[in-house]
Structure 1
Amino acid sequence: MRARSRWRPWRRAAPLLVAVSLLVVLPLAGPASAEPSDQPGGTSGVLDSEALDRLQERAAEVQADLRQRQAEVVAVQRALTGAQAEADAARAVVDEAEGELAEHQDEVARYASAAYRDGGAFSPLSVLLSGGDPGDLAAALGYLDAVDDHTAAVLAAAEEQRRAALGDRAAAEAALATARERAGAVAAQVAELKATAAAVTEELDAALGDVDRQLADLQQQQVDVNRQTAANWRAHLGQLVAAGVVSPPASALLDPVAALPEGLVPVGATAGGAQPGVAQFPREPTSLLVLPAETVAAVTAAMEALGRPYAPGTAGPDSWDCGSLVSTVYGAAGIDLPADQAGLFAVTAPVDPADVLPGDLVFLGTPESGLGHVGIALDRETMLAADGRAGAVVVRRLPADQVLHVGRPALGPRAEVPPPGPVDGALRVECGNTVYPPSSVGGRSWGGYPNGLIPPSALCPLGEGSHALRCDAAAAYRAMSAAFAAELGEPLCITDSYRTYAGQVRLYGEKPALAAVPGTSNHGWGLAVDLCGGVQTFGTREYTWMVANAGRFGWLHPTWADPGNGREEPWHWEYAGG
C-alpha cells in the first residue's frame, strides 16, 4: 500500500488534522446551538453576570454584618444566661436568710410565750421575790441575762445577713435588667439586618430565576453537543473497523520512522519529522487517524462519562474531578497516571501544541493562577473534561491562549516537571474553577455558584418532595436510602436538604444563636441533609445504622454535632465524597 501511494506524510499533517476535526467535531448535525459553547460547559457566561456579582457582593456585606452580630448574639445570650443564674442564686440566698431569721424569731417567740404562760415566774423580778438562796438568785439572773444577750445577737446577725442578701439580690436583678436590655438591642439590630438580607434575597431570587432559565437552555445544548460528539467518535471507530484497521498497542507506535505496523504510515509533525505515538492509514480522499489501542480505550471510556457530575475529590463512577477522570480512563487502558492535575502535568510527555491529537492531555492555566485544568483533547479546538465551572463532564472549547502544556500519555512518563502555581496572591484554580479559601466571604464553590444561590437546574432531585442536592451527593443519598430501607423496612426520612440563601436568612432570623450565618451553611452547597424517622435521636436503631453505614456512601456525621460537643444534632449529616 505504501509503494502505491505518493503520500508525503510530513507535508500533509495539517490536512490530516482537518480530517480528524471533521471526524470528531465539524460533522455536528443540527443548528449552531449544538456546537460547543465558548463558555466552559455553556455556563460561565451566566455565572460571570455582573448584575449577579453585584447582588452577591451586597449579600456578602449583609453576611459579614450577620457574622459579627452572631458573635454578639452568642456573647449577649451567654451574659444574659449568667445574669439570670446570678439573680436566681441571689434570690435563693435572700430566701434562705429570711427563713433563718424567721426561725430565730420563732424561737424567741416561743421563749416569750413560755415566760408568759408561766405567769412571769421565770423573770428577774419573780426570782428576786421568790426569796430563794442568794447563790441561786445570782445564778438565775446570770442565766437570764445570757439568754437575752444571745437572743439579741442571733437576731441581729440574721437581720444583717438578710439585708446583705437583699443588697446582692438588687445588684443581681439590676445586672439582669441590663443584660436583657442589651439582648433586646442586639435582637433589634439582627432584625434590621434580617430585613436588609430579605430585601437583597428578593433581588437575588429574581436574578437566580433568570440564571436558571438560561442554564436550563445551555444544559440542553450541552447535552446535544455531548451526544453528537460521542456519536462522531463511534463513527470514527466504525470507519477504522470498516477499513480493517486494528489499533496497535502504544509500544508499536513509539518510533514511526524505524517501524510501524503493516499498512500504516507516519503522521507529520508541525516542526518537521514524524510524530511518535500515532500513525495513519492512507486512503482517498482523506486518511484515517490511527491511535494506540490504549488511547482509543481511554477516550471511549471518557465518552461514557459525559454528563456525569463534576465534584472535587471524587473518582467515579457517579461523579468525577478532572484529574481522576483522566487517571481512571487511562489506568483502565493500561497506562498508569497520577490522579490530580498537578501530578499529570509533572509526568506527561510533551508534544507541540500545534500537533495536538485526540487522546492527548491538554493543560490550561494563566500566568497569574498557574495550572488550572486538565482535559482530553478531541481535536485542536475541543476537549473533554470534568469541568468545575460546568459542574459536569462535558465537551468544551479549548482556549488556545490558556494552553500551558500538551502531553501524550502513550509516550510514557517524562522526568517530573513542577507545575506552575499561583503568583502575587492569586487564587488557585482546580478543574477550571477558582478555589476560594474557607474563610472567603461570598466565595464560590463547585460550579462557580455562590452558597445558597445554586440554580435548581444544577441540582439533582432525591425523589422525595422537592428535596435536591449536588448530583453526586444525590446519587449517594439515594443509594444509602435504598440500603437503609432494605435493612430497616423504610427509606430514609428527610426534613431538609439544599437550603437557598433566602431559606438561610429566614432560619437565621428565627434562630440566630444556632443557625449558620447565611451564605455559610453546608445546606447551601447542596451537601447536607437533616433526617427524621428515628435518625434524629442519638442511640436509636436508625441512628446507629447511619453511624455504622453512612460512610460507605460518602456521608458522615460532623464532629461538632456529636454528643458532648456543644451543638448536638443527631439529624444533621454531610456528604464528603465517595
Structure 2
Amino acid sequence: MHSLPRSRVVAALSLGVVALAVVLLPTAHAGADPTGSGVATASLLDSPELDELQRRAAGVQAELQERQSRVLAAREALAAAEAAAAQAEADIVAADADLARARAEVARHASAVYRDAGEVTPLSVLLSGGGPGDVVAAAGLLDAAEQHAAAVVGAAERRRQEAAARRAEAERTRETARARAGELTTETAELEAAAAAASRDLEAAVAAVDRQLGRQREEQRAAGRQAAADWHGYLAELAAAGVAPPPAAALRDPAAGLPDGLVPVPASGGGVQAGAAQLPGGPGPLVVPSAEAVAAVSAAVDALELPYASGAAGPDAWSCGSLVHAVYASVGIDLPDDQAGLHARTTPVDPADVLPGDLVFLGAGRSGPGNVGIALDGRTVLAADARAGAVVVGRPGADRVLGAGRPSLGLRAAAPATEPSGGPLPVECGDVRYPPETSGGRAWGGFPNGLVPPSAMCPPGVAGHLLRCDAAAAYRAMSSAYAGVFGTPLCLTDSYRSYAGQVQLYGEKPALAAVPGTSDHGWGLAVDLCGGVERFGTAQYAWMVANAGRFGFRHPRWADPGNGREEPWHWEYAGA
C-alpha cells in the first residue's frame, strides 16, 4: 500500500490532568511506534505535591464557606443589635423630653396660681373671708392638683426608667454581637491567610505548568499545520494522478467491482477492505477513499485549532462527537453526535486497516471509550480534545486504541454500550468527567477552579483578559454585534479570576464575593461588563438581555433585580 505523506512525528505528551491528549495512531503494518509508547512524564498538575496543595485549598475553601454563613449571621445579629440600641437611645431621649415637659407643666401651673392668687392654702382662704365650705373645697382642689402633678411626673419618670433599662439591655446585646463578630472576623482572617498561602504555592505550580503547556501548545499547533499540509499534499497527489474519489456506494462491495482503474485494498486479516480502493502503480499503490470520506476529512482539517467545549456543536467550538457528526452530516452521512453513540453504531474495521476518514476510538483500562477522532492517514488522527482544549492532531500508543469504524459503510445495529467498570470515572473527549459536587474538583481541561494556566485560555479581544477559548470566541462575536448597534465594543472590567485573585477579593468583600475556588470567574466563564450594561434599565443592558443568549451568555437569576445580589454587570457563558 502506498504510504500517504507522513506527518511530522510528535511524541504523544500524555500529561495527566493538564496534558495535551494528542491523538495519533501507529502506522498500519509499520511495526513499533517510532515515537515510543506515547506515555510521557507526569505533569505538575498530576503530581502528589499539587494534589496535596489542592486538598489544602479545598479544605480552606470548605471552612471559608461554612464560616461565611456564620459571619453573615453574626453581622445580621450585630446590625439588629445596633438597631435595637439606636431605638433604645431614641426612646430614652423621648422619655427625657416627656419628663421635662411634665415638670415644666407642673411648674407653670404652680407659678400661675401664685401669680394670680398668692399662695393658696386652707388658712389663706379662711382669712380672706371664705366660709368653712370654701376651705374644704380649696383643700380638695389642692390635693387633686398635687396628686395629678405627681402622677404626670411619675409616669414620665417610669417611661424614662423603662427606656434606660432597654438601652442598657441593648448595649449588652450589642457588645455581645460585636465580640462574636470580632471573633469570627479574626478566625476568617486566619483562614484567608491560609488560603493566600495555599494560593501562592498553587500559583507557582500553575506558572510552571503554564510554561510547559505553552511549549506543548506550540508543538501541537506545529503538528496541526504539518498535518494539514500533508493532507493537502495527499489531495494534490490524487489530483495529479487524475483520480476523483468515487462515492461511497461505489466502494462498498469490492467483489462486485470497483470504478475503472481502481483495485481493492488488502485487509490485514486477509481478503479485501470494503469502502475503499487503491490506484496501482507508481512507487506504491495510492489509497483512494470515498468522496464522502475525503470531504469529511477536509472539513475536519479546516476546524484545527478551534476550541473544544463540552456539548458545543460548532461552528466556533466543538466536542469530539459533534465534530464527527457535523463533518459527515455535511456530506450526507447521518451519524450519532456523541462518542458513545458513534462507538455503538459505526461499522467497525480492524485498527490495523485504518484509512483516511475512519473513526478511531480511544480509551484506557476499564474507563471505556474516552474519545473519538477522524483518521487523516494510517497514523494521524484529528479530534476535538478536552485536555488540549482545542481541535488537535496527535498519535497515541496502540494500547490506547479501543477500535475503529468506517462511516462510509453505513450504520450497524447498536452494539451494547461500553460503560466504565470497577469504579473509574467516565472520560469525555479525552478528559475525566468529574462529578459536579466534587469540592475543589477539576473541570474542563482537568484544571481546578482559579488554577487554569493562561496558555489554556484565549483573549476575548480585550487586553489583559482571558476566557475559556470557546467563551472568548463567543464574546468576540457578541462584542462585534454590540458595536454594530452602539458604535463601540462591549466594555469589559473582569474575566478569568485566579484562585489568588478570588482570595484577595473575598478578603475585601466577604459578604459579596464568592468563596475562593467557587466563582465562575475561576473557570474563565464569567465576565463583568461596563459601558452602560452595569445599570439595570439602560439601552445597553436591554440589548444584552435580548441578544446575549444568541452567543451563549446568560444573566444568572441570582443577579437579577430583587434577588438579593443585584449585579447587572455579571454575565456567564453557558455554552453554544
> Taking structure 1 as the reference length, what is the TM-score of the superposition?
0.89
Task: Supply the distance in 2 between the matched residues of 1:295 and 1:126 (Cα, whole angstroms).
Answer: 129
> In the alignment, which residue of structure 1 is the partner of 2:98?
100
Is contact 2:346-2:412 (8 Å) kept? yes
The code of the aligned residue for 1:23 comes to L
1:518 alignment partner in structure 2: 516
Pick closer, same or farther for the CA change 1:326–1:533 going to 2, 3 Å.
same
Q: Deviations over 1:24-70 (max 9, x none)?
A: 5x353xxx6x4554556368943424443333233222222222222
Identity of aligned residues (%): 61
Give, in angstroms, the shift of residue 132 of structure 1.
4.1
Please tell me the residue identity of whatever aligns with 1:530.
Answer: D
Q: Distance in 2 between matches of 1:439 and 1:133?
A: 99
Q: Cα RMSD over matched residues?
A: 2.4
Structure 1 position 464 matched with structure 2 position 443: no
Aligned letter for 2:145? V
Higher relative contact order, chain-length normalized (CA < 8 Å, sep 6+): 2
Letter paired with 2:4: L
Residue 41 of structure 1 corresponds to which residue in structure 2? 20
**TM-score computed with the length of structure 2 as normaliser:** 0.89
Judged with a 3 Å threshold, the aligned counterparts in structure 2 of structure 1 residues 124 and 364 are, in CA distance, closer, same or farther, namely farther
User: For residue 159 of structure 2, what is the aligned residue in structure 1?
Assistant: 161
Corresponding residue SS for 2:255: coil
Aligned residue identity for 2:346: T
Partner of 2:254: 256
Give the C-alpha shift of residue 482 in structure 1.
2.3
Q: Which residue of 2 aligns with 1:577?
A: 575
Shift of 1:451: 1.6
Pairing of 1:364-513 with structure 2 (within 5 A): 364-366=362-364, 368-379=366-377, 381-513=379-511
C-alpha separation between the residues in 2 aligned to 1:211 and 1:506? 23
Counterpart of 2:271, as a letter, is G
Residue in structure 1 matched with residue 559 of structure 2 by the alignment: 561
Q: Deviations over 1:139-158 (max 9, x none)?
A: 55444433333332333233
Cross-structure match for 1:3: none
Partners of 2:21 and 2:192 in 1: how far apart?
35
Alignment of 1:168-179 (within 5 A): 168-179=166-177
> Which of 344, 347, 353 lines up with 1:346 in the alignment?
344
Amino acid at match of 2:20: G
Which position in structure 2 is the counterpart of 1:205? 203
Q: Which of 291, 302, 305 is residue 304 of structure 1 equivalent to?
A: 302
- Correspondence 1:275-354 to 2 at 5 A: 275-354=273-352
CA distance in 2, matches of 1:311, 1:250: 31
Counterpart code for 2:244 = V
How much has 1:399 moved relative to structure 2?
4.0
Report the CA distance shift for 1:165/1:438 in structure 2 as closer, same or farther (over 3 A). Answer: farther
Which residue of the partner structure matches residue 58 of structure 1?
56
Which amino acid letter does the alignment assign opposite residue 239 of structure 2?
Answer: V
Q: Deviations over 1:140-195 (max 9, x none)?
A: 54444333333323332332232222222211111111111111111112222222
Bigger mean CA deviation after superposition, 288-297 or 86-95:
86-95
Q: Secondary structure at the match of 1:469?
A: coil
Q: 1:232 aligns with which of 230, 233, 254?
A: 230
When residues 113 and 227 of structure 1 are mapped into structure 2, their CA distance, relative to the original with a 3 A threshold, is same
Is 1:183 aligned with 2:188?
no
Matched-pair contact (CA < 8 Å) for 1:461–1:468: yes
The separation in 1 between residues aligned to 2:84 and 2:421, in whole angstroms, is 55
Which amino acid is 1:306 matched to? Answer: L
Bigger Cα displacement from structure 2, 497-506 vs 37-46: 37-46
Q: Return the offset for 1:127.
A: 4.3
Structure 2 contact 4–377 (Cα < 8 Å) conserved: no
Provide the rounded CA distance (Å) in 2 between the counterparts of 1:118 and 1:433. Answer: 102
Between the aligned partners of 2:357 and 2:375, the Cα distance in structure 1 is: 5
Q: Distance in 1 between matches of 2:66 and 2:121?
A: 74
* Matched AA of 1:507: L
- Give how far 1:124 is off: 4.5
What residue identity is the alignment partner of 2:426?
R
User: Does the aligned pair in 1 maintain the 2:360–2:372 contact within 8 Å?
Assistant: yes
Per-residue CA deviation, residues 417-456 of structure 1 (Å, 9 max, x unaligned), is: 4533344554332111122233322212221122212222
Task: Tell me if structure 2 keeps the 8 A contact 1:247–1:290.
Answer: yes
Do the aligned residues in 1 keep the contact of 2:122 with 2:136 (CA within 8 Å)?
no
Which stretch shifts more, 350-359 or 386-395?
350-359
In the superposition, relative to structure 1, how do residues 344 and 89 fare at CA in structure 2: closer, same or farther (>3 Å)?
farther
2:376 alignment partner AA = L
Q: Which amino acid aligns with 2:256?
A: A
1:88 alignment partner in structure 2? 86
CA contact 1:36–1:395 (8 Å) conserved in 2 = no
Contact 1:124 1:144 in 2 (8 A): no
The 8 Å contact of residues 369 and 427 in structure 1, kept in 2 or not, is answered as yes
Pick closer, same or farther for the CA change 1:400–1:132 going to 2, 3 Å.
Answer: farther
Matched position secondary structure for 1:193: helix
Which residue of structure 1 lines up, in the alignment, with residue 31 of structure 2? Answer: none
Structure 2 distance, partners of 1:98, 1:513, is 39
Pairwise CA distance, 1:280: 2.1
Q: Which residue identity lines up with residue 297 of structure 2 in the other structure?
A: V
Letter in 1 for 2:427: V
Where 2:220 maps in the other structure, the secondary structure is helix
1:79–1:419: structure 2 CA closer, same or farther, 3 Å change rule? farther
2:4 — aligned with what? 23
**Is there any run of 5+ residues in structure 2 with no aligned partner, and where?**
23-39
Aligned length: 554
Distance 1:205 1:87 in 2: 46
Amino acid at match of 1:447: G
CA distance in 2, matches of 1:362, 1:441: 34
